[in-house]
Amino acid sequence: MIELIPPGLILLCAALWIAVVPNHWHRLGLFIGPILTLMAIWSVPDGVSLTAPFLDYELQLIEASPERRLFATIFAIMAGVGALYAFKHARRLELACGFAYASGAIGVSFSGDLITLFLFWELMALFSTLVVWFGGTPGARAAGIRYAIVHLLGGVILKVGIEGVVVHTGSIDIQALQAYNFDTYMMLAGILINAAAPPVSAWLSDAYPEASPSGSLFLSAFTTKTAVLALILLFPGTPLLVYLGVFMIMYGIIWALLENNVRRILAFSIVNQVGFMVVAVGIGTPMALNGATAHAFAHIIYKALLFMSAGVVIYHTGKEKCNELGGLYRTMPLTAFCGIVGALAISSFPLTSGFTTKTMISEAAAMQNLVWVWYVLAAASAGVFLHAGIKFPWYVFFQKDSGLRPKDAPWNMAAAMLIFVGLCFGIGIYPEPFYQLLPYPTEFSAYKPGKVVFYLQLLLFSGLAFFLLLPLMKRTNTLTLDTDWFWRRLGAKVSEQATQLISKGYGKASNSVSAGISAALKPILPSSEPSKDSVPAWSIGTTALWISTLLSAYVLIYYW
Amino acid sequence: MTQDKEISVRKAWITFLVLLALTLLVEFAIKAKTPFESSQWRGFGAVFGFLACAAMVLTAKLLGYVLKRPESYYEDSND
């Protein structure tokens, strides 16, 4: 029976429950919601299991396959563990929005057609914007507006593409496409905007760090990874994705190296990690798609772990700049430990989930004889260790003694972090059961002695490079320009100038028009110079009332 | 206190350097493997990792001269 209920809908109901039920009873939704959702996800059989008519189309509300199920599973786990982490600190409505956002991601995972996919896509855009706004600061409000504009625009682009494909092929099915004409390129562009691909990656590092620490945690998981799933389903083996992914990988590293804000460093490293997945989708072989799926799953866990660890620090110190933190391992050893595990996993250190998933992508590149891609991925692995693996724990927990002595994580945050630490090591040490769940049968074995030695050399010597080059990485109170300069600075200036120009022109024009009218009316009207004071000023309310009356009258007459 | 700190920093460095040496020495027992012939020489991982990181740090440093702005950069103009 439960397989007939869309899993996303269960989580959406839980979100509604959390939003409306008072007196701590809302917490029931926080914990039961994700469990029921997980049960539903795992009882959905492969193939299409629920359809609904819409206009002339048959919507496929639930279509399951191994990769869809894995993405939905990690989204539901993330919602549940995220709720455990956040339920004491976050506001009730913020949690409700986080759950609704997750339900959108799960809805996308199971969408069997483009229309359903689009609806859930927009649900995510809506609720993720609200999650950014729950940051509650003026910065969060402004960043939320920019975030919403990018995503609504991305939605429109995706919609144009979908409509083109539907009109020209007559099919709303989600199936592997080739990007070759306007429709498919628009669809690809719409999806890539959500994947934080260039040239619009800036929305991610702009908005995520402005949310509350729990908000950032939710944001880190869903939008980019649903985009990766959409790419796997719709554009596997598109060569362009290899180049875009490589760019994202390098961009993420360089911008993170320049960054001082801890959460922004982690945000850049999301772009970097999603870059690995995008490269994998571009390679498009079964091994590569397995790698993209496995890496997305593992990435959500260790990235959440990093954001959780950073979140505890921010909740307890109110600071999130590298140059204001340091030495926190003394009083928060558990948070430091969990942060270090997340950092090792993101750096694909042997025995962690990063190693058993990310190296699958490298191997897929090698099997296709993409030599340069393999070398770039290897260099990037070193770079990830540099910018996230060492930089994050080093500046926050070690470095210098900042004099801060915050308490360690409260029990719920500690429990949430430890669950994810367990998963990082679980998938890292004994990956075989996890490999069984991947979409394609695989012969991949992560631990070959020669490979482990290579990665240990690679990573430890990048550690040496980090410590030797520390003087070059002095933290500064600066931001780094990104492509959002075009809309935050250039666009703002242009629109400011244009507004001034138009209002000047309009002022002149309306002056001359009114002068002309009064000149024409002079002979007719006895008092040709009506003083401004004699014109009764209407309040906005009266104006609105008049307009609505006139409109109603118009509608009535029209129908009569 | 400062002396203690210096000693512990030195100890950390020594441990780290020993680990680095071990990853190189272990190659006499287990050879590091990459999928390509061109990178099958001893110590390739170490050299490649170090140089890649040095290149990325230097690129970041150089780009920083061009792209870094004060934190209030956007607030001054419009936000």
pLDDT at A1 over 60: no
A336 and A382: one domain?
A: yes
> Are A317 and A442 in a shared domain?
yes
Contact between A479 and B69 under an 8 Å Cβ cutoff? The reply is: yes
Q: Does residue A341 surpass a pLDDT of 50?
A: yes
- Phi, psi torsion values for A357, nearest 5 degrees: -105, -45
Instruction: Indicate if A94 and A175 belong to the same structural domain.
Output: yes
How many angstroms separate the first and last alpha carbons of chain B? 47
A195 and A129 share one domain: yes
Work out the pLDDT band at A534, boundaries 50, 70, 90.
very low
Is residue A182 over pLDDT 60? yes
Which ipTM score applies to this complex?
0.91
What is the predicted pLDDT for the residue at A506? 82
Instruction: Identify whether residues A427 and A283 lie together within a single domain.
Output: yes
Residue indicated by tokens 């660890």: A309
Rounded (10°) angle between helices A411-429 and A286-317: 160
Residue A559: inside a domain:
no
Are A386 and B56 within 8 A, CB to CB?
yes
Confidence of residue A525 (pLDDT cuts 50, 70, 90): low
B53 neighbourhood in chain A, CB within 8 Å: 382-383, 385-386, 461-462, 465-466, 469
* Bridging pattern class, strands A57-64 and A47-54: antiparallel
Kindly report the CA angle at A274 between A271 and A275, in degrees rounded to 5?
A: 85
User: Which residues have C-beta within 8 Å of that of residue A549, sequence separation ≥ 6?
Assistant: none
pLDDT digits (tens, 9 = 90+) for A259-316: 989 999 999 999 999 999 999 999 999 999 999 999 999 999 999 999 999 999 999 9
- Residue A551, in any domain of the structure: no
Q: Are A14 and A33 in contact (CB under 8 A)?
A: yes
A504 touches chain B (CB under 8 A): no
Q: How many domains does chain A have?
A: 2
Backbone angles phi, psi at A54, to 5 degrees: -150, 120
Residue A331 has pLDDT above 80, yes or no: yes
Quick one: how far is CA A72 from the chain centroid? 15
Choose from B19, B56, B61 for mutation: most chain A CBs within 10 A. B56
pLDDT at B76 (0 to 100): 65
pLDDT at A109 over 90: yes
Residue at A195: amino acid letter: A
Q: Of A476, A511, A543, which closes a domain?
A: A476
- Picking from A275, A436, A284, the residue whose alpha carbon sits closest to that of residue A358 is A275
Residue A200 in tokens:
């619009």
pLDDT of residue A538: 59
A116 and A245 share one domain: no
Q: Decide if A485 is inside a domain.
A: no
Q: Which domain-ending residue is among A209, A234, A259?
A: A234
**Longest CA pairwise span in chain B (Å):** 62
Within a domain: residue A530?
no
Do A259 and A162 reside in the same domain of the chain? no
Residue A503 in any domain: the answer is no
- CB-based contact, B53 to chain A, within 8 Å: yes
Residue A472 has pLDDT above 90, yes or no: no
CB contact under 8 A, B20 and A371: no
Neighbours of A174 (CB within 10 A): 18
Please indicate, yes or no, whether residues A114 and A244 belong to a single structural domain of this protein: no
Tell me: do A290 and A405 sit in the same domain. Answer: yes
- pLDDT tens digits, one per residue of A220-274: 999 999 999 999 999 999 999 999 999 999 999 999 999 989 999 999 999 999 9
pLDDT, residue B78, reads 47
Are A258 and B60 contacting, i.e. CB atoms less than 8 angstroms apart?
yes
Contact A396, A323 (CB under 8 A): no
Residues 6+ positions from A4 with CB-CB distance below 8 Å? A49, A50
A472 and chain B in contact, CB less than 8 A: yes
Look up the domain containing A351 and give its range. Answer: 236-476
Average pLDDT of the residues in A447-465: 93
Q: Give the gap in angstroms from C-alpha B3 to the nearest C-alpha of chain A.
A: 15
Statement: residue A519 has pLDDT above 70: yes
* Structural domains counted in chain B: 1
Nearest to A450 among B23, B30, B67 (CB): B30
Mean pLDDT, rounded, for A370-378 = 94
Same domain, A307 and A448: yes
* CA A31/CA A556 separation, integer angstroms: 52
A214 and A284 inside one domain: no
DSSP symbol at A237: T
Report the gap between the CA of B24 and the closest CA in chain A (Å).
7
Task: Single out the residue in A406, A441, A476 at which a domain terminates.
Answer: A476
Which among A450, A465, A469 is the nearest to B31, CB-wise?
A450
Helix (H), strand (E), coil (C) string for A12-32: HHHHHHHHHCCCCCHHHHHHH
Tell whether the model's pLDDT for residue A524 goes beyond 70. no
Q: CA-CA distance, A162 to A188, in Å (whole number)?
A: 10
How far apart are the C-alpha atoms of A458 and A455, rounded to whole Å? 5
- Strand B68-70 to strand A478-480: parallel, antiparallel, or no bridges (unpaired)? antiparallel
Q: Mark yes or no for CB contact A382/B67 under 8 Å.
A: no
Cα gap A459→A54, rounded to integer Å:
53
Residue A141 lies in a domain: yes
How many CB atoms are located within 10 Å of the residue A422 CB?
12
A353 & A414 share domain: yes
Boundaries of domain holding B41: 2-77
Q: Is A554 contained in some domain?
A: no
CA angle, residues A20, A224, A49, in degrees to nearest 5: 70
Backbone angles phi, psi at A415, to 5 degrees: -60, -45
Residues in CB range of A145: below 8 A, 6 or more apart: none
Return mean pLDDT, chain A: 90
Contact B70 A477 (CB under 8 A): yes
Dist CA B66 CA A249 (whole Å): 21
